[in-house]
Structures are given as structure tokens and as C-alpha cells.
Structure 1
Amino acid sequence: MDTTPDHPDRTPLGRLGRLAFRRRRTVLAAWLVAVVVATLAAANLGGDFAVGYDTPGSESQAATQTIEREFGGRTAAEVEVVWHDGAGAVTPRSTAAIDRLLADASRLEGVAPGLTAKDAEVSADGTTAVVRLPLTRGEDHVPEETGTALVALGERAERDGVETIVAGSIAGMTEEAAMSAELVGFAVAAVVLLLTFGSAVAAGLPLLVALVGVGVALGLGGLLAALIDTPDWAVQMALMLGIGVGIDYALIIITRYRAAAAAGRDPESATVEAMSTAGRSVLVAGGTVVVSLLGLFLMGLPYLYGVALASSLAVLVVLAASLTLLPALLGFAGRRIERLRVPGVRPARTDPDTVPGARWARRIQRRPVVSTVLALALLALLAAPATTLRFGFPDAGNEASGTAPRQAYDRLTAGFGPGQNGPLVAVAATPGGPADSAALDRLAAEVRTDRDVASVSAPQPNPAGTAALLQIVPRSSPQDARTSDLVERLRDGPLRSTGLQVALGGRTAATVDQGAATASRLPLFVGGVVLISFVLLIAAFRAPVVALKAGAMNLLSIAAAFGVVGLVAQGGWAGQLIGIDTSLPVPPFIPVIMFAALFGLSMDYEVFLMSAIRERFARHGDARAAVVEGVARTARVITAAAAIMVAVFAAFALSPEVFLKLMGVGLATAVLVDATVVRVVLVPAVMQLLGERAWWAPRWLRGAATRPSAPVAAD
């Protein structure tokens, strides 16, 4: 039985495709208007991309909130002013230059006033000093003009003869990418499409669909930022996913359209058939990606909500463009889709039995056990470095050599020790006046006796005398495990027994809190995403064994990706390929986001391949032959789709942001592994071992079964 619907135009997607084809001018105009409206709305109504990374209910968040409330709007965010003078950091020449810098800085928007060179911490040898300028708002909310002005003030102090470094994470002070990662990925995708289709017209349609869809999604993302806290890097994440899946989904549908047209269908009938078959698979795949991304809400971390919504919105919009705009564009192209042929690119073979994919699948089927063992061994080898992953947030010590943050980090380490780069801040409520002040002095004295504490500042009371700060400098660096142990030891020991209400904050304390929160919510998140995806696959294939196999293989691909991220994060030869030259911790949110995105994206290829296998099995009932034919019919399009996705993701290794580098490499690795080792080796081998048992279903599920559709035609 042929699983292509007997009456494609009677299916919902078939009717949608016919409507878009016939009303193509209206559909195209509607999408162009949507781009303009979304862009204008974002420009006039959009919010700022800013977010706090505090963990809800954590002690570090309590410390941050107390500082903001009790210290006149001051936040925990700071900009470091570091200077060095071999003749002495507190000589009249040095202090005059720094006082001038600090006075001018205090007049900038977002910078707290009142500090002078006398407030500096000076190294033991007297040659290095640092003043930390408190900000009156979060780093994401400080104007870029302030960051640019601070850099200029540091350069002026240099001209005055004082070696000065001004370092921070606000806009205007951070490195910008030399080349747009999105443009690089888009250019590579264009080349892959030209080689796949052999026609400039056919290759241009997926690019146009992705551009329009992403254009609308970016505008809506700006509006989203006005409603919910959204980090600025959520834009890059949405672009990464939107471009990748937008091109891939259009590629799948166009491949089926061209096959139908080659079989003699007129353009409208070919569009309806492509939408009722490939369109259905695209809808299932896109829905799985969205569900996986929305699973980020299960983590309970507010800054991930904006990422989940922005990324899901991008996928939904490009999915809608693939199902409406693309049929309209096919109506304009018609049979002209094969025009502007690329010289030297031969059309795909029409007989799937003669393509390399068919020969490869038969070779795997002859040795299914050996193939399975070898594939699993390779995946285990790739996943092994995942055991070296350290969770935390990279700091200035992980920046590229020569950048201002790295120079400040190295100078502070040389002058004070590594702990000066990540001081802890204890915030105490002191409503009892002198009695509480005495208790705070005793606390400071006790903390100084800890073996891992380098220094403790004198208590710094607020003007009202209701709260005070203690700055605690560890002996070890912010990323050192000893610093994390110190945080736990101080919280469980002297801070708890002092009799005061004390909260310990600072960057390292916040990292400890977020790591604990992530670990506690991770089982719920992973279980929720896997369970919902399993249900979606059962709904698509009515085959529990296939759904279980898909989930297991997706987990293998993700494990391999985590392993490669672990290898790159070590900072050796692999890390140096993308500009990571030091061992660095991986932010806890990266594996979470990678899992959400990859579990959905891996399902794309599973749906495309298994739909083709199911179609052939339903036609003739030969499970072995169905695998060969399914692999043969999808090999070319899955290879092209994966190459595009890998190019788009890998291009983000060009980003100056370390976490975007890691996510790009991880996502690219998972897609590459999934489209090669898993789909080309493991799936044919396991399906051969399972035979007809792969399609077993309980009676109630068989009774509810509907005819599955194949996403692509023969190569």
C-alpha cells in the first residue's frame, strides 16, 4: 500500500498548499508586510535585551538584592580600574591621573560616584592598585556610550604616563566579532544548496524562505524583550536555529516537489503532494523542536525563559513560512524551478537502488552486529571527554591574550594573587547598631583565619547604618574548586553562627548557587523533554519500538556532542582551533540549552528517515528492503540538510563570546554525528536486527493508526 495519500488535496496541509499556491500574490504580500510591521514594531516598541543571571531563591540573589536596596541603588556589577607604576601606584603622578579618571567616570550614566584613588586596594609591593567602580544598574542596562567613554578614559590615563586598564562587561567595552557568523553560515548554506539542486532558482527558494521567516522572528523577538527578560545572546541563538531549520525544512519540501514534477505532475499538483507528505514530516519535526525548547521552562531559571521563547518563536515562524510562503513561491517558480543550472552538477539519479546510499545500507545489513558495535565504540570515544567538563562561568582569565579583561586579570593575579579577580561579598543586616557592628567585626576576624582566605576588608556600612559589606578575597582563582569549597564552608560555618542575617554573594557564589539549582532540576527537564518527544513520535509512527530507538539514538548523539565540548573546553589543540587557549569551565546553562535544541533537531532526521522506511514497509512488507530503500531515498537530502545545519552552527565558533563558541561547536558536532554515524550506520544496523519487530504496536494503537507520509522522494 502506498502511504502517499490517495487524495493529497483532501489533507489539511494539502489544502493549505493549494490555497497558498493559488493565492500566491496575496501570501507573498502578507509575508512582506509581516516583515515590515515586525521590524517597525520592534524599533518603536521593542525592549532592551537584558537579564539577570541570579538563581531564584538563592543566597547570592539575596545578597544582590540587599546591596541594591541598602546601598543607594548600587548593584553587584562593577568595572575594574587597574593601574601599575613601578615607582609606586600611590605616587602623586599616579593618583592624580587616576583621580581625574574616576571623577570623569562618576559623571557617566550608570556609574556610582564618590570613589577616589584613596579607595584603592594596593598590592603588597605597592606597584599595583585597583578600584572597583560600582554600577547603579545591571551591566546589560548600562548605555554603550558609558562603556566607550570608560575605555577612552583609560587610554587618556595611559597617555598621562600611568599603565592603566579599564575592564568590564558592559556594551562598548567588549570585543565585537570581526565577521558575522550568520553571514558565514548563510553563504555556506547557499553553496550546499547549489550543489544539491544544481539550479540557482531551486537553491534560492530555501534561502528566501529562511530570510523572510527570520526577519519576522527577529522583529517579534524585539517585542518579546519588552515583555520578558531576554539575554542579548538569545538573538544569536534564535538566528542560529531559525536559519538552520528554515533552510532545512524548505529543502525537504522542495525535494519532494521536484520529484513529483519529474514524475509528470503539474506544478500545482506537485505542490499539493509535497505539502501533504513532506509538509507533514516538517510539521512533526518542527513541533518536536519547539516542544524541546519550551522544556527549558522546567529548569526554573528566569533567564532561560526568554531564550526558550525567542528560539521557539524563530522555529515557529520559519515553520509557518515553509508551510505557506514556500508553496506560494513554488507557484511563482512552477517548472522554471530547474532553470539557471549550475555547470558540472549532475541531476540526482531517479532510481534509488543505484545510489551509493543503497549500496552502503546493504553493506551494513550484512554485518549488523559488527556495525552496531563499531558505531557505539566511536560514539563512546567521542563522548569520553564529557567526563572532564567543569561547570561554572568563564572569567577574564579565559579571554584572549591582549584583551583588556585578560590584561587586568593577569595584572591583578601578579600583584595580589588569583583570588582578587573574584572577591566574595558578605552582606549583613545591622539594625542593632553598635552591637551588630561588634558582631560583624568578630565575623571578619574569624573569616580571616580560614586557610583559603587571603584578606577580608573592614566592614563598609551603608549611610543609614542598617547594613554593611565585607569583601572576602580567596587565595584561589574564581574557577578553582577550593573557592567553591570556601563558599560552602563560610555559609555553613561562621556566617551561619554569627547571629546576624548575612548573605554571601559575588560571582563565584552565584556560580555555586546556579550549579546546584541546575543539578536539582536537570532530571525533571531531561525526563520531561524525552517523554513529550516520545509521545510525539508515537503519534507520528504508531510504533513504540521506533520511538524508543529514536530517543536512545538522540541521547547518543547528544553525549558525543558533550564530549567534543569537553575536549574544546580543555583549551588544548582542539580549543585553540576556535580561539580558546585556556582551560575553562562550561556555564551550566550550555548543556541544558544544547540538550533542548539537539533533542528536537535530531528528531528531524529521525522523522525524515523513518517516514521513508515506513512508507516502503507499508507498501511491500519487507522490513529489510524497506531500510535499504528508505536510506537510499533520504541519503542525499539528509546529507545536504545536515551540511547546512553544521555550517550554520559551526560558523558561531567565530563569535568572540566563549559560550556561543561552545554551543556552536556542540550543536554542529551533534548534527554531524547524527547524520553520519547514527543515521548512516546505527539506524540501518539496528533496524536490520529488529526486523519487523521495529513496527510492532499494541492493538489499540494499531487500530488508531493513520497512514504515515514520506518526507522526500527518491534521490
Structure 2
Amino acid sequence: MAGLLYRLGRFSARRAWLVICAWAVVLGLAVVAFSFGSGHLSDAISIPNTPTTQVQHRLEKVLGKGASGSNASGTIVVQRTSDGALTAGQQTQLADLATAVGKVSGVKSVTNPFTALDEVTTQQQKITAGQAQLAQAKQQLTAGQNQLNAAIAQAKAAGAYDAAQAQFAAQQAKITASQKQLTAQSAQLTQGQQLLTMSKGALQVSSDGRTAIVTVNVDAPQQQIPASVAQNIRTAASKAAPTGTTVDFSQELATQAMGGSTEAIGIVIAAVVLAIMLGTLIAAGLPLLNAIVGVGISYLIVMSFSKLIDMNSTTPILALMLGLAVGIDYTLFILNRHREQLRRGMDVHESIGLANGTSGSAVLFAGITVIVALVALNVTGISFLGLMGGAAALAVAIAVLVAITLTPAILGLSGLRVLPKRVRRRIGTEDVKPAKPLKPMSTPRAWITAVASVVVLGAIALPATQMRLGLPDGGSQPQNSTQYRAYEKVTKAFGAGFNAPLIVVADVPSGLSSSEMTTRELQIGQHLEATKDVAAVVPVTASTEHSVVVFQLIPKGGQNDVSTETLVQHLRSTGASGVRGDFQVAGATSGNIDITDYLARALPPYLAVVIGLSILIMIGVFRSLLVPLLATGGFVLSLFAALGGVTAIFQFGWLGFLFGVHDPGPVLSFLPTLVVGILFGLAMDYMLFIGTGIREAYVHGAAPRVAVVSGLRAGRAVVTAAALIMTAVFSGFIFANNSIISALGFGLAFGVLADAFVVRMLLIPALLHIFGRAAWWLPKWLDRIVLDVDVEGAKLERSHPLPGRAAEDEPVLV
């Protein structure tokens, strides 16, 4: 492979304009594909065949398409700007708003909260009137009974009872029948009052009358409102907003801003690091140019499939984030090698070919490692994660291709200008001075470094032991967003549970009469109402054959509260008197809980696959058993340190003011899985550039502990620069106006810092020093069957020696 890359590098350098034009054509084709294939992205996250989706499908079969709980829905929050209840005029305008939204294509129904309030008021008036009439009838019936009793007594006293007995019996039977009828009517009125009282707890007009919630049902699956429909709803509602009110939209109807100008900060920082490290604008600009070309092509390609594939809006941003980071680093690795060779007097084209064959081989191997880890996300069985991994893998693959083709082409055109002028004047002379003998670190220092590294990373990782997973709700959105304002207004006016309604389904014996069904609904509703952490219960509907009853349940807690999750689990494991089996739960909140649970269960198997892959790859690279175990253990440490940092900031709220975390909540449910896949690939990059240098020195005869110092000195400069650049790029996404992207950006940035500067430059060298020669032991039988992976093209380098190789290039035995 190294030889092939060597020839590819020389060809690209000699045919530079041909290679550049070829990439320009690829970019143009990507633009064309984007113009034809780009579509709308969705903020929805869904997993098929969860308990929630099973209930939703069942409701569609039993109650018909569009049944309660199976349609997507969102809310419009209307609030008077001044204190006091919405006026009659504003209520009329709100009704016009509901009518306007109802005319939007794709909207199935719109609930005017004041219509529901009026219906409840009317029903209450009817029940009150019925109770008054019933009381009057009871009084009349009591008076009739008293009159009959007096007549019977008088007849008995006069001895005329026997003659009038039949007449008295008929009158008594009539009175008794009327009493039974009144008792039945009283029972019905009592049940009606109880059901009405139950329904009042879910009225969507606040107690002070200032805030009202308009519910919009969309003809689409739960959590999958088309972006165009949501936009049209917002437009219609905003135009019809009542005078003197504010109109805000729930997360389902709002569009999240997927980025912003903050990622440009990361690119600027990367440019500064490159300029300081490389000393020329041409050299500093090359990695940035390649990264932009690579992510431009990959982003356009990913988006060109968005019309054909249901794609989450995070997917192309993840490809952009990772493509930028690795695109800069991969070019930097090749460029750095080429510059070192030029300094020693090597011919430009020969140096380009050799750099492409050696460092390019490492780039190719590192890229394949990252790609495999990302593609392995498909083993979770979660389609949207697999799609994210595929998009990110495409970005990495294009970054690798750009690095090993476009980099040599531009380097061929640049000639010696990739070096500063002061260095060009000393080409071939500055590296011939003999170096001082290398001395290994002391063993006590190695122990202190190793222990301190583990303790520090372990302490940072501690919060991860209390990590809770969840999906973003309105409270996690930017404070200036409409969805955050809607969330806060609903929470303050109605309670957190109104942002997290549940659909509860109960099976009852079929064949019940209407009166029996009403009785059963009331019994089940009262049972649910008495359940812990339930704020309100509303009977919604029942199947025509009276076999299924559906309730809307308002929990006391919000979507991501522990109490709500516990409530859902409790309901699913219990039933009530008259219910066949346990309750079934659906709705957006239930769906998010199911998705989070599914993702949490998928993480351990995926982590096991990645760890196993890590060990197998590094056995081939380092031809050792202990080094792969140490390197993998270091990766696990840096991974949990990253998750601990995310938990501390985004869940606990520590230092949240620095990172824009205003409402701490659970960690994004799929963040740990993505961080595992991405951080694994990057950790392997750094291990390759540090570890292969150590192994090369050891193989060439250096003492094991001297080899550690030699390899660390050879690789730390480029790894430091690469890690700083990658951290800067990831950090640029921390302040994006999107809770998903900001948490992911922080996790990756912190993970890279921990892995590069603590694990690879401190912990691993210290451990290799402690274990000495034992670190490189490999059983002979395993040595024979393990493929010899020449990652950095050492064989190619030996056949193309550098001119003027100095004494410092040879390891010093101590």
C-alpha cells in the first residue's frame, strides 16, 4: 500500500492541475446532485417497533387512522402581553387563528381552548340544572309519598282500606318506579359531574385566563411533522395573532437552528495554530483548503439524499463537524512529513511521494479505522444512528481521498514555498548536528505520572456514573427561541406536565352497555387520577365495540423528569379493576422515553464491539499484547472522562453559564454512542502517531525505555497541533443554537483533549516505561498468524533514504 501511495503522490504532484480539475468536477457534480436531491430535514428521532409505536399502530386499527395518540401534534401558546385574562375580542381573534391554522394543508384538526372551556361550562350548567330539577322531583316525590301514606292511614282508620288496597298499591308502585328512575338519574348526574371535574384538570386555558394553548393535530406519524407544514402553521398563526398577545410554538412546530457563526471561531483558531506551527500562509492554508473542499463535497452528497431518505437534521452537521476536523489533521500529517524531508534536502517530487507513502499510509489506516467505527454504528440496529454514522464515514473517506491526492497536487505547485524563507536558506544543513543522547524518564516519575493521570481522568469521569439519558425538550432550547418561550409559558401557567402529555389505553371486557361503559371509564379514570405523580386525567374516546378506553394523562413532571419516566414504567406494569391486562402508554413523551431506553441498551454491545476492534487492530500494528490493552484502556478512560464532563455541565449545570446551559437536563440519549464511535477513531490516530514512533525506535535497537522518549519526541509536535486543531473545530460547535450539536461538540472536544494530552502523551508513555521490554511481548504462534501492518511505510522509507540523515535519527542505547 505504501508503494501505491508513493506513486500516487508523485503522479499527483506532476499532474497537479489534472488532479485539481478532477476534484473541481467532483465538487460540481455534488452541487448538481444537491440541487436535484436536497429536501427537508427533520428534527424527529424515531425507532420502529417500540412499545409506544406498537400502541399507536393498535389504536389506528381499533379506532381508525388518525386515532388519538397516533397523529403528530404540536401546540401554539397564546398569551396576553399585559396582566389579566384574554378579553372577549382577543378570544374571538384566537378563534380566527384556529380557523386559519385549520385551513393549512396537512392539518387534521385544531382545538380552540375556549371552545373546550365553553363546552365544559355548558355541561356544568346542564348538570347543575339537572341536579336542581332532580332535587325538585325528589321533593315532589317525597310529598306524594307522604300524601299516599296519610291516605292509607286514613283509610285504615275508616275501615275502607281493603276496598281501596288495589288503588293504593298502584300508586305506591308508581312512586317506587319514579324513585328508582330518580336514583338512576342521580347516579348518571353524579358520574357526569365526576367525569367533568376530571376533565377540568386538562383545560388548556390557564386559571387566570391569560394564557391559552391551541392544539394542532397533523396528518403525519407521531414526531414527524413535515417542515413545510410546520412553517405554514407558523405563518398562518403569526398572521392571525390576536392583538395584544404573543404567539409561540412548541418544539414540534418550531425549526431548530442547526448551526450558526460559532463554528467559524473554531476554524479561525485552527488557522492560528497552523500559522504558528508552519510559519507560512501557503502551508497554513493548505489543510484548511483541503478540509473545506472535503466537507463541501461530503455535505452536498449527504444532503442530496435528503429527499429520498428520512434524515435527521443532525446528520449532515455531524458529517460537517467530523469532516472539518479530520480533513485538517490528515493533510497536516502529510504536510508535516513533507516539510521535514525538504529541510533535509530531498527533491520536492520525491519528498511528496515519500510523504504520501509513509504519513499517507498512516492517514489511510487511521481513516479506515474511523470509518469502520462509524459504520459499526449499524450494529446497534438503530436506523437513524446508522445513517449518522454512514454520513460521517463518507465525510472521513472523502477527507482521506483529498489528503492523499489533492495535498500532493498543491504541494507540487507550491514547491519550497511551504517552508519559511529562513528555513529555505538552510536546507540540507540544519539537521546534521549530532544530538544529545536520549535519556529515559525516571521510574518514580513514570509511576507518579501514570497514577496521577488515572486519578485525574477517573475523578472527571465520576459524574458519568450518575448520567441520565433523554431527548431534548423545549426547556433545553436557546432562551431566545420560540419553543423555549412556549415551554416556559406552559410550565408557569399550567405545570410542567402539560408539556409532556401521555396517552393511556385500557382494555375492558367487550359487550358493555353505554351506562356500564361510563361506569367503567369513571372507575379507571379515578384509579389513574389517584396514581402517584398524575396531575390530571381526561377520558378521550372508546372503541365502538366498547373494548378499549383511551385517556389523556397529564403527569406532574416534565418530559425528562425522573417521575415521568417512573410513571410510564409503573403504568405499563399495572392495571386497574375492570382492566384486562396492564395499561398501555403512547404519545410523544412515551416515545422519547422508549427511544432513550433503546439507545441505552444498545450502547454496551456497541462499546464491546469497538473495544474488541481496537485490540485486534493494534495487535497487528504494534505486534504486542500489552500495548493494545494499555491503549484501549486509555481510550476507555478518556471516553468516560468526556462523558463525565458532559454530565457535569449539561446535566448537573456545573459551569453552565460558560457554555450557555440555562436549564440542565438529561444527557442526549444517543450522544454516548456517537462519542464512542468518533472518539475511538481519533484516539487510534493519536496512538498510531505516538505508538508507531516508539515501536520503530524499539525495533531499530533502542532500549525499551529510551524508545519511549524517542517516539514521544518524534510524534508529540504533530499530535499536539492536530489535537489542538481538532479541539478548536469541535469547540466551535459548542455554542451553536442547538442543544444536540452543542453537547456533542463539547463531548468530542473534551474527549480529544483528554485522550491526546493525558492518555497518549502522559499515561501511555509512563506505562510503557514501567513495563519495559514486557510491553512488546507477543507469543510466537500469534506472531506468525497476525498480519504485519506497516502503518507508516517503514519499508518504503528504507528504500528511499533521506539525504544527510543525522545522528539524532538513530536511537541512542542507554
**The two structures share one fold, judged by TM-score above 0.5:** yes
- When structure 1 is superposed on structure 2, of 500-509 and 558-567 the one drifting more is 500-509
Map of 1:709 onto structure 2: 792
**Are 2:485 and 1:407 equivalent residues in the alignment?**
yes
Secondary structure class of the residue paired with 1:472? strand
Letter in 2 for 1:137: A
Shift of 1:651: 0.7
* Stretch deviating more after TM superposition (55-64 or 306-315): 55-64
Q: Which moved more, 1:523-532 or 1:19-28?
A: 19-28
State the match for 2:234 in structure 1. Answer: 150
The CA distance in 2 between the partners of 1:105 and 1:689, in whole Å, is: 71
Query: Match of 2:143?
Result: none
2:166 paired with 1:82: no
- Rounded Cα–Cα distance in structure 2 between residues aligned with 1:684 and 1:547: 13
C-alpha deviation, 1:16, in angstroms: 2.3
Greater shift after overlay, 38-47 or 567-576? 567-576
- Written as runs of structure 1 = structure 2, the 5 A alignment for 1:290-309 is 290-309=371-390
- Gap change, CA 1:176 and 1:662, over 3 Å in 2: closer
Partner of 1:4: none
**CA–CA distance in 2 between the matches of 1:533 and 1:626?**
23
Cα distance in 2 for partners of 1:68, 1:273 equals 65
Q: Within 5 Å, which residues of 2 pair with 1:16-415?
A: 16-50=8-42, 52-66=44-58, 70-72=64-66, 76-84=71-79, 91-116=87-112, 117-119=114-116, 121-137=204-220, 141-144=225-228, 146-147=230-231, 150=234, 153-154=237-238, 157-158=241-242, 160-170=243-253, 173-175=255-257, 177=259, 179-338=260-419, 350=431, 362-363=440-441, 367-415=445-493
Q: 1:383 and 1:101, CA in 2 relative to 1: closer, same or farther beyond 3 A?
A: same
Count of residue pairs the alignment pairs up? 699
Say which of 742, 745, 749 aligns to 1:664. Answer: 745
How many angstroms does 1:478 deviate by?
Answer: 2.2
Paired with 1:650 and 1:558, the residues of 2 have a C-alpha distance of 17
After the TM superposition, which residues 546-557 of structure 1 pair with which residues of structure 2 at under 5 Å, given as runs?
546-557=627-638
Q: Is the 8 A contact 1:241 1:314 kept in 2?
A: yes
Q: Considering only aligned residues, what root-mean-square deviation do their CA atoms show, in Å?
A: 3.4
1:143 to partner: Cα distance: 3.5
The SS at the match of 1:157 is coil
Q: 1:126: Cα distance to partner?
A: 4.3
Matched, 1:489 2:573: no
**What secondary structure does 1:121 align onto?**
coil
2: distance between equivalents of 1:230 and 1:644?
A: 29
Which amino acid in 2 is paired with 1:455? A
Amino acid at match of 1:418: A
**Aligned-partner Cα distance in 2 for 1:121–1:534:** 57
Distance in 1 separating the partners of 2:83 and 2:60: 38
Q: Aligned letter for 2:106?
A: G
Amino acid at match of 2:21: A
Matched-pair contact (CA < 8 Å) for 1:398–1:583: yes
Kindly tell me: are residues 528 and 175 of structure 1, through their superposed partners in 2, closer, same or farther at Cα, counting changes over 3 Å?
closer
How far is 1:520 from its partner?
A: 2.6
Residue 128 of structure 1 and its aligned partner are, at CA, apart by: 3.4
**What is the distance in 1 between the residues matched to 2:714 and 2:429?**
11
Q: Which amino acid aligns with 1:78?
A: S
For residues 396-475 of structure 1, the aligned pairs below 5 Å read: 396-427=474-505, 438=518, 440=521, 442-460=523-541, 469-475=550-556
How far off its partner does 1:145 sit?
Answer: 7.3
**Structure 1 residues 464 and 12, CA gap change in structure 2 (3 angstroms):** farther
Counterpart code for 1:388: Q
Q: Unaligned regions of 5+ residues in structure 1, if any? A: 1-7
Q: CA deviation at 1:488?
A: 1.1
Task: Verify the 8 A CA contact 2:574 2:583 in the aligned structure 1.
Answer: no
Q: Distance in 2 between matches of 1:641 and 1:435?
A: 74
CA distance in 1, matches of 2:717, 2:3: 27
What residue identity is the alignment partner of 1:253? I
- Cα deviation for residue 464 of structure 1 reads 11
- Which protein is bigger by CA-based radius of gyration? 2
- Deviations along 1:507-552, one digit per CA (max 9) or x if unpaired, are 3322332233223322211111111222222222222222111111
- Unaligned 5+ residue runs, structure 2? 117-202, 803-807, 810-814
Q: Which amino acid aligns with 1:21?
A: A
Q: Percent identity?
A: 32
Distance 2:102 2:740 in 1: 32
SS in 2 for 1:456: strand
Against the structure 1 CA distance between its residues 30 and 123, is the aligned structure 2 distance closer, same or farther, given a 3 Å change threshold? same
SS in 2 for 1:478: coil
Cα distance change on mapping 1:66 and 1:135 into 2, 3 Å: farther
1:677 correspondence with 2:673? no
Change (3 A) 1:287 1:194: same
Q: Structure 1 CA distance, aligned partners of 2:392 and 2:349?
A: 33
Task: Provide the rounded CA distance (Å) in 2 between the counterparts of 1:528 and 1:497.
Answer: 47
Alpha-carbon distance in structure 2 between the residues aligned to 1:181 and 1:144:
27
Spell out, residue by residue over 1:269-324, the C-alpha distance to the aligned partner (whole angstroms, 9 max, x if none).
Answer: 11121122111111121111111112211222221121011111101111111112
Q: For 2:724, what is the secondary structure of its paired residue?
A: helix
Give me the TM-score of the superposition, normalised by structure 2: 0.79
Q: 1:463 to 1:161 in 2, by over 3 A?
A: farther
The one-letter amino acid of 2:92's match is: A
For the pair 1:580 / 2:575, whether they are aligned, the reply is: no
Aligned to 1:5: none
3-state SS in 2 of match to 1:201: helix
Query: How much does 1:645 deviate?
Result: 0.2
